[in-house]
Structure 1
């Protein structure tokens, strides 16, 4: 069985051959402007543009849904709605929604298998979304690694 590969570098610039899906977590209120999305927008305009359209038309723009955006011949960016709003709520609950992340990753797994693609990501959900990697890691194992999908997690240098 494969395992998660940890790399130093930029998740928007995967160095491998073949098809790649770069995944990241979005919020459910249409906000795009902080965190990893800035690196994505610097490289490609399409993911932000399509995310904003998706939010505007409201079609299945809910927790647990994904949007695949092809940005190069063999690279897709996957916008995953795994975060509720953008602030920790009054009960101290951060925006991350682990159940939604799991639903998203189940859908990503199907896309990756269809495209015969690897999955590349930063430590999703652990920045602005306020999640903990020890909660996210087992979800990645369960959804992607168990399906023998190569997974690369980048720590920015």
Structure 2
């Protein structure tokens, strides 16, 4: 039995060894060849959209937290209701305390639900503002560049 061992060898024909074989990414100045910089109006629309989007994200985090709190509050109320039902024969002072706690927790739940609904409405308003800002930006950018920038406008092809 003979065992042949082969070792890989690199080919010296063909490829270049003088640098990367992929195009270099253009510098910011080089990118201007492909697009013009944003003007002040476009920057203001982009800024408004970004800020509104950040507020929307924060609002949804708060809504999620309120949903969690409301769920916990409902669970606490249910536990107090069960406790009141099972301890119906207990002393009236204990029952009065439980009823008081139950009412307090129900009021807290109503406040949480009210805050949730207010925040939900604000979130809907923010989403609408964001849509409007995006729409304004799109309409502005869809205008004829010569109308926006004069005869020195860069025409995108």
TM-score, scaled relative to structure 2: 0.22
User: Which structure has the greater CA radius of gyration?
Assistant: 2
TM-score, scaled relative to structure 1: 0.22
